[in-house]
Every structure is written in structure tokens, then in C-alpha cells.
Amino acid sequence: MNAARDLPRLGAAIAIGVLAFLPMARLPAFYDSFLYMVFFWVSLSTSWALLSGFAGYFSLGHAAFFGTGLYATAVLTTKFGWPFLPTLPVAAAIPALLAVGIGAIVFRLRRLRGELFALLTLAVTFVIATIILNTPIDGGGGIFMSAVPLPAITATPNGTIYVLGFVLCVATLAIAWWVAHSRLGMGLFAIHDDEDVAEAKGVPTLRYKLIAFALSAAVAGAVGGVHAMYVGFITVSGTFELTVPLYVILMSVLGGSRSWFGPAIGATVITALLYAFISGGEAMVGRAIVSVILISAILWLPDGAVPAARKWLAKHRRASAKQHVAEVAPVVPSVPPVADTVLLQARGVTKRFGGLQALGGVDLDVREGEILGLVGPNGSGKTTLINVISGFYPLTSGSVTVAGVEVGNLPAHEIARRGVARTYQIPRPFVNMTVLENVVLAATFGSLSRPAAEIRDEARHWIAFTGLSGKEDVLPAGLNLHERKFLELARALAAKPRLLLLDEVLSGLNPAEVDNAIRLVRAIRAQGATIVFVEHLMRAVVELSDRVAVLNEGKLFALGKPREVMRDPRVVSIYLGKAYAA
Amino acid sequence: MPSATLLGQALISGVLAGGLYGLLAMGLSLSWGLLRLVNLSHFALAFLSAYIVYELGTTYHVEPWWSAAMVVPLMFLIGAGQHWLFDRFKVNELASLLITFSFAVIVEVAIQLYWTADFRRYETEYATRSIKAGPFYIPVMELVLCIVAGLIAWGTWLWLRRTYVGKALRAAAEDAEIAAAYGVDHKKLAYLLSGIGAAYAGIAGTFIALIATLAPAQIWAYLGVVFAVVIIGRLGNPLGALAAGMLIGASESIAMAVLSPAWAPVVSFSVLIVILLWDPDWL
């Protein structure tokens, strides 16, 4: 186990050492230039993947960031007489600001998110190219870099550019590694799979997307800054080319854009291929062939080479090494009885969708430690109420407070951090994460920050609590409906909620599974959570609820003890029609 | 500040030029809005059509109208063929964007290999004709383009609103499974719609051959503007696409008259960004 882990590290250390001192070997210039191009594409494609691969927002505008950085260095060195190295931070900062600006516009829109983002980034490329072409930044004539002195890092200018490209490449890979293994990366992967759920689990999606976008653009800008010295003569048409996004996407998709080193592998392979074509003098045909490879890769290898290889390895490893599941200490808070304090207070909660009024002024108090059943005919607004309380829909008017704090107009992730967790009627797991990773994410973002090992133990505890032990490393696709519903519960519990909103957890389960689920809900309350649950199954409502609230046509229709409410003729009439009420 | 006549002329030229934006946007808008497929190769198909019309006209002296009669069905077949690929591999929106992007590059390379990267101009007697209305000149070819675009937009809109096929398509775009449960054969309709979208590229291409200078890299020249038009005009709405095209065309043209021609590309995106920020209900 340890040898298998250390081997890649040793390999990487040797590779870094050899590559760093390669210019001293005085190889023919071709190798310097070829390897520089490998570093160049590895850095660009890896930086693209930080946002586009990890979070799934495909950018077609990487040329805009790369080009802005390139021109920043070119203009500062030639027109303002700056030395070369200090221009690089500027070359990184300007694209980062640009990215934050674009992101602030696009990421706020709920509809059209992915494709709109792709096209807007492409459009930005054209706008920036036009601006640079028509202003004194370039002015249409291009910029010569030949007079700009390079810092004497090695004996030759080629060697110096090589070293700069290499340093950037290693730094980019280090950033990608760090992001992939951090809280930020976990959040980005969740955004990739299901952004709404990620937000509901406490991931600050807008902020994370902006950070990833800024990082991605900054690296591309710095790469552009170094590349300005490599190309020597800079033109707008040569810089803001569609080749840049095309190749970057191809390399990342081919290697696996969700993996931190997938793009590097794709970039190395494709750069070698391209060199073969260019030295054969067939650059145009090369572009066409690259396009054909991209189409084939998307159709037959949609996840990329690295994830495909990983999946294959995992399949062959699982049979041999079955992981021992540690006995974990239960994380049990004290058990409060139903208290007099009000945890959730809704006042005049109204939600309109255009002309349709889904909720028309609902007033509801839920006491600490209580189980409140929320029932009502189809379309009465039960799920809408859950969606409003959890922040998925903004309120039209009214107020919602949790433990005395107004949450009505907070973003969903802020509400989640205040101890509100929810499940979905149709389970919505993060499909590319294992069961354990799904629960770890909810535990990480749902409450206070804790050491990773502690979070893992808690996650295992909740997986065991919901009876999913042994399935930790399974992807959600490998679970049946019953298990997926319980995964929903495990995720909600891992956030240690004060208020748990359950949306039809029992629907679609068979009678034995329903009994099981009812026991589980009781156990959850015993852990100290307050529960609001939407349910159609009357047996469960009566068995579980302390009180029942009946919604009808977006208004609170009745409220009280389960047996009394369900016998109320008015309630019977809205369910079955007037004839049965008598 | 330019004179009122110049501004008026700029407005007329802009609206007429916007007709082409609208025409190009319609096919895209249909496949994006109703099939959830973003077809970047739409522009490549339009230029391929333009080159074919040019080739038939200059080498074989075929009237452009007859060329169009050949090119449009050909594009229909290519569009339906593309859809076969999307359908066969269950391609989603983003993947369709990448695949059609690559496809566009392949077409660009093919055009460059056959017709070279030189600029080509199809000289016809129609191209230079214009009508004089008061102090303004109205180029005939672009007027015809706008009328054709208007008829197509209106016809498509009626087709989507009034006929069974149109309603079924809109229903399937909302929820394919439910529509299928009501007996909508979504797959067959999707082929039809993809074909029609590509056929519109053929029509647009014919006009491009008649009014514009051709070069392989021009494929990308319309991309940004037309996507802005598609989004502003609302996905899946042909009349909206045409109206947005004319709006953008007019704003560009006036910006060219007031500022300088080189600034035109910035206008459409500024309009787009303003509208996105505004985020109105109809978007």
C-alpha cells in the first residue's frame, strides 16, 4: 500500500529534478522549444479545468484570459519600460479581475447557466480582441518583443523561457492538486453534479465559482505573459485564436477534466501529435484531425482517460482489498423533549410564480424537538413551502425565522449553515461521488469546520446509522431507490441539522421499508433534531407526528393533533370531496 | 455628430443587415430552444452553402436561385444526419456545443483546402442594385433577404403555434417523457427540426454569397453577434430572433456611424450584457 503510494511521488520528484536542470544539458534548441510548448499547454489546459473541469462550467473564452495576460506583459515591457518579471503578477491580475466581472454577471442567472456561460466567454474573447485591435494597446500593427531583456536565469534566452514555462507548469499543477484536495475542490465537484443541491448542503456556490474562475484566468494570464517572450512578435489575430479554447478543451476532455492531472496527460499527448503534424507542414490538416479526435473523445470517452483508468483500477482492486469499517463512537447530542421555544416561525409566507400563487400567506410555528407532519392535496404548496424555507426559492413576501434569525432572503447555503437540512422527494445524490463522499460533503459544508478525519468518522457513523454500511465506496448509480432515500437522510443528518425538512421520504417504499424509515425518523428526533415532513402516507403521518398541518391551495387549512385533524370533516372533504365528509 | 440623413441611412442599413443576423439566429434558436442542442456548426453550414452557391454561380453559371434549390435540401440532410449522431450517443447540451464546434473547424479546413484562404466575391447584377426612397438608398438584395427572413420567421412561428407537429415539439421540449406518454414521437420530430434548422443555414448561406465577401475564417465572424441575437430573441422563438437581429443590426450600424466602424463588434455584446443584467421576465 505504501510502496504503491510512494512510487508516483518518487517518480514526480525525479521528473521535476531532471526537467528543471535540462537546459544545462545543452540539448538542441528543438527540445527546449518542444518541451516549453508541452509546459505551455499543460498549464493552460490545467488552468482551464480548475473551473470548467471541476465545476462543469465550460469556458470557450480561455483565449481572452491568456491574451489579456499576454498583452499586459507586452504593453508594460515595450511601452512603459517595465522589466519583464514584475509584469507577470499584473498579467495574472488583470484576467482574474475580468473573470470575476464576467462571473458576477453570468453566475447570477439561474436559467441557461452552462451554455450561456460557454457562449458569453466566447463573445468576450471577440470583444477584447476588438478593443485591443482598435486602441493604442495594439493599434493593429502588432508588438515586437525583441528589445525586451530577459532575466539571465540560464545562459541562453531559450533556456530562460524554458525555465519560466517549467516553473509555471509545476505551480499550476500544484494549484490544481491543492484545489482538488481542498474544501474548495469538494464544493466545485458538487456544483458540477448538482448545483442546487450543493447550495442547499451549504456550499457557497457563487463564491466558489468566482474563486475558481479567477484562479483559472490568473494562471492563463501568467502563462500568456511568459508566452509573449516566447513568440516575440504579437498580433491580435495570432493571440485571440479559437485554437486556444479548442485545444485546451480537447486536451482536458481527453485526459479527464475532473481529475487534477488529467489535462496534463491530454496536453502532453496532443502537443506531441501536433508537433508531428507541424513538422510535416500540415498545420491545417492537423487542426482537422484534432477536431476529429475531440468528437470521438466526447462520444466514446466522455469522462476522459484518467477517470476511465481509475474506474478500471478500482474495479480490479476492490475484490482484493475490502476495507475494514471502524467502529465509530456515536455522535449523539443530548435529547431534548418537545420544548416551548419556537424554532421555525413562518409569518405571511407568500410565493408567487408569475401569476400563479403557490403560497398565499402561511403562518406556522414549529417548536424545538417537534415532529410536524405537513399534508395536503397535490398542488397545495407543501413542497413549495419546503423550498421556500430552505432558500431554494426566494420569498415573494412574508418572513421565515429559524431560532429567531430571519432567513427569508438569505441564499440557500447560508440557511443550511444555520442548521436547516432537507431531503428531496426524488433523491438527488451527487452522481460522480461515492456514498461516503456524498455524506462527507454534507458534513463538511453543513456545520462548523472540523478536521477532515473527524468529518470522515462522522460520515461513516451516519452511513451506519442509515444502514448503508458496506456501500461507502459505491457510486449512487449502484444504489436502489430505498438506499438512495436513505443516502438522502444520511446527507441531511451529517449536517447536524437543528431543523430537518423531509420531502416524501416514504413514497415509493414497500411496507417493510416504510416501517424501517419510520423507526429511523424517530431515532433522528431522539438525536435532537426538529422535523418537518411532507407525506402522503397517512399511516406514517399519524404514527410519527406530534402535530399535523394541512395545507390547501397555498393556505394553512388546519393544524392540530394528528387523529383530531384527520377526522375533521373539512379536512376529509378537501381530500375526498364533500360527499365523504359527512 | 453625423447628419440626420446619415443616421437615417445607418438605421436602414442596420435593420436590413440585422435581417441576416435574424435569419442565421433562427435555426440556432430552434435547435437550442426545442432540442436543447447548441449547434455551433450552423455558421459553418451557412458558409459551406455560400461557397457552393458561389462555385455553382461562377464556374457553372447557375442562377443563385437554382443553386439555393439544391443547397437547401442538402443542408436539410446534413442537419438530420448530425441529429442522428446526437441521438445515437445521447449527447447533452455542452457536448453538442463541443462536437459542433469541432465539426465547424473541420468544415472550415475543408473550405480552406478547396477554395483557399483568399477572399472570394460573387459578382452578380443583383448585388449592386438599390432603390432610392427620399434621401435614402435601400439595397435590393438585403431588402429581399429581410422579406424572406420575415416570411420564414412568421411561417415558423405559426407552424410551432398552430400545427400538431409544432405543438408536439414544444411539448417535447418542456418534458420529453410526458410528451411521449401522450403519443408524441419526439425522435422523428427532432430529425425534422434539425433538418429545418440546417436548411435555414442554407438559405442564409445563399444570401451571404450574394451580399458578402467570402473567406473561411468568416465562419467565426457572425458567431458572437448571432448568439447574442439568439439569447435576446428568446430561445425557440423565430420572431424574437428576427426582431433581436434587427435591433442589434441597427445598434451596430448607428455605433459605426457615430463612433467608428471598428467598434461594431462591441455593441452587440454590450446590448447582450445590459439585457442579461436587466434580466427581464421574457428572457
Per-residue model confidence (pLDDT) at position A65: 95
Contact A85, A151 (CB under 8 A): yes
Per-residue model confidence (pLDDT) at position A329: 42
Residue position matching grid coordinates 431522539? A526
CA–CA dist A100, A122 (Å, integer): 16
Contact A501, A481 (CB under 8 A): no
| Helices and strands per DSSP (H, E), number in chain A | 24, 12
**Band of the pLDDT at A111, cuts 50, 70, 90?**
low
- Which one is predicted more confidently, A213 or A339? A213
Per-residue model confidence (pLDDT) at position B244: 93
In chain A, the residue whose alpha carbon lies closest to the alpha carbon of B89 is A299
| CA-based nearest residue to B41, from B123, B120, B107 | B107
Backbone angles phi, psi at A381, to 5 degrees: 105, 15
**Band of the pLDDT at A378, cuts 50, 70, 90?**
confident
Per-residue model confidence (pLDDT) at position B28: 92
Asked if residue A333 has pLDDT above 50, the reply is: no
Residue position matching grid coordinates 434580466? B279
Residue A486 distance to chain B (closest CA, Å): 27
**Burial of residue B170, with CB atoms counted within 10 A of its CB: 0-12 exposed, 13-18 middle, 19 or more buried:** middle
CA–CA dist A250, A255 (Å, integer): 8
DSSP string, A515-542: HHHHHHHHHHHHTT-EEEEE-S-HHHHH
Q: Do B269 and A114 touch (CB under 8 A)?
A: no
Secondary structure class of A362 (helix, strand, coil): strand
Distances (CA, A) of A537 to A16, A508, A541, A550: 62, 10, 6, 14
- Which one is predicted more confidently, B45 or B183? B45
Asked if residue A281 has pLDDT above 90, the reply is: no
Q: Do A60 and B101 touch (CB under 8 A)?
A: yes
Per-residue model confidence (pLDDT) at position A33: 84
Query: To the nearest whole number, what is the mean pLDDT of chain A?
Result: 84
Average pLDDT over residues A496-523: 85
CA A431-A299-A294 angle, 5° bins: 115
List chain A residues with CB under 8 Å of B272: 120, 123
Contact A498, A530 (CB under 8 A): yes
A4-13, A311-320, A452-461, B39-48: which is most confident: B39-48
* Long-range CB contacts (within 8 A, 24+) of B172-175: B172/B34, B173/B33, B173/B34, B173/B35, B173/B36, B173/B236
Q: State the complex-level ipTM.
A: 0.83
Q: Do B224 and A298 touch (CB under 8 A)?
A: no
Average pLDDT over residues A437-457: 87
Which among A126, A290, A292 has CB closest to B265?
Answer: A126
CA–CA dist A535, A503 (Å, integer): 7
Beta carbons within 10 angstroms of residue B257's beta carbon: 20
Asked if residue A144 has pLDDT above 50, the reply is: yes
Domains of chain B (ranges; CATH) run 4-278 (1.10.3470)
Query: HSE (CB half, 13 Å, CA atoms) of A540?
Result: 27
Residue position matching grid coordinates 447582450? B272
Residue B89 distance to chain A (closest CA, Å): 6
The residue ranges of DSSP E strands in B151-273, in sequence order, are 213-214
DSSP string, A52-83: TTTT----S-HHHHHHHHHHHHHHHHHHS---
Q: Which residues contact A427 (CB under 8 A, 6 or more apart)?
A: A476, A481, A484, A485, A487, A488
Domains of chain A (ranges; CATH) run 28-248 (no CATH), 342-581 (3.40.50.300)
Per-residue model confidence (pLDDT) at position A213: 96
**Band of the pLDDT at A317, cuts 50, 70, 90?**
low
Sign of CA dihedral A113, A114, A115, A118: positive
Residue A424 distance to chain B (closest CA, Å): 20
In chain A, the residue whose alpha carbon lies closest to the alpha carbon of B112 is A284
A437: amino acid identity, one letter = E
Per-residue model confidence (pLDDT) at position B205: 95
CA–CA dist B110, B116 (Å, integer): 9
Asked if residue A321 has pLDDT above 50, the reply is: no
Q: Do A294 and B98 touch (CB under 8 A)?
A: yes
| CA-based nearest residue to A503, from A395, A390, A369, A410 | A390
Asked if residue A331 has pLDDT above 50, the reply is: no
In chain A, the residue whose alpha carbon lies closest to the alpha carbon of B110 is A288
Q: Do B231 and A116 touch (CB under 8 A)?
A: yes
CA B150-B154-B159 angle, 5° bins: 145
Backbone angles phi, psi at A524, to 5 degrees: -65, -45
Which among A122, A253, A295 has CB closest to B224?
Answer: A122
Q: Model-level pTM?
A: 0.82
| CA-based nearest residue to A192, from A45, A99, A303 | A303
